[in-house]
Chain A
């Protein structure tokens, strides 16, 4: 079965500390993985797509097929990073659907 797991509901760090938001997936083929972010009172927006290998707002994520993980990292957290983060899997071709994890709330304290 295709599944995305984000084990932490809440991650609380201090400003300037490193951040790692965990994401594990279950998928037998070649996955396409995304991180979406939802800031307070804003819409869900794309943060990263693994095939683009970009760094957005200082965040990076590497696909590890051996560990079936796609963890999101940032070396120095900022208060404005506080938001809900969702990992999503675009699985089998021609289904159209994204499979989302349950989300992790990142709280960056001053």
Chain B
């Protein structure tokens, strides 16, 4: 069974630009989660999507947004990039919103 996949592996942007990160969940999983792993800050919850709807978001500004497509894949968009947005962004999926979460390999975003 294929695991959670994320693309791209690395992304380099400059301040003020927009970044789009993509995630494909495990087959049969309808919930997708996004986490930010910034240096020194640990893993922080960003967003939760289930059945195409945003169900919860963490303590991040509105320039962090996303969506979930009918095939349950998801996109994370970060607008007006700031230097402190540089981090590893992890996507996870689960069968339901209360089930175990399985993680992808992450996208390393670098903002110059």
| Contacts from A to B (Cβ < 8 Å) | 32, 34, 36, 43-46, 49, 86, 90, 93-103
Contacts and interface: CB of A to CB of B under 8 A. Distances in A.
25 contacts: A32-B98, A34-B100, A36-B103, A43-B105, A44-B103, A46-B100, A46-B101, A49-B100, A90-B98, A93-B98, A94-B56, A94-B98, A95-B48, A96-B31, A96-B50, A96-B55, A97-B48, A97-B58, A98-B33, A98-B35, A98-B43, A98-B45, A98-B101, A99-B45, A100-B42
Interface of B: 3, 31, 33, 35, 42-43, 45, 48, 50, 55-56, 58, 90, 92, 97-98, 100-106
Contacts of A99: 45
Nearest to B41: A102
A32 B105 CA distance: 24
Main secondary structure of the interface of B (DSSP, over half): strand
A45 B100 CA distance: 11
Given A45-B102, A97-B45, 14 more contacts: A43-B103, A44-B103, A45-B103, A46-B102, A94-B56, A95-B48, A95-B56, A96-B31, A96-B50, A96-B97, A97-B56, A98-B101, A100-B42, A100-B43
- B3, B103, B104: residue with the most chain A Cβ atoms closer than 10 Å: B103
A107 to B, nearest CB: 19
B42 A103 contact: yes
Contacts of A43: 3, 103-106
Contacts of B55: 94, 96
Contacts of B90: 44
Listed from nearest, the 3 A-B pairs whose CB atoms lie closest are A96-B48, A97-B45, A100-B43
Contacts of B48: 95-97
Nearest to A103: B42
Contacts of A101: 42
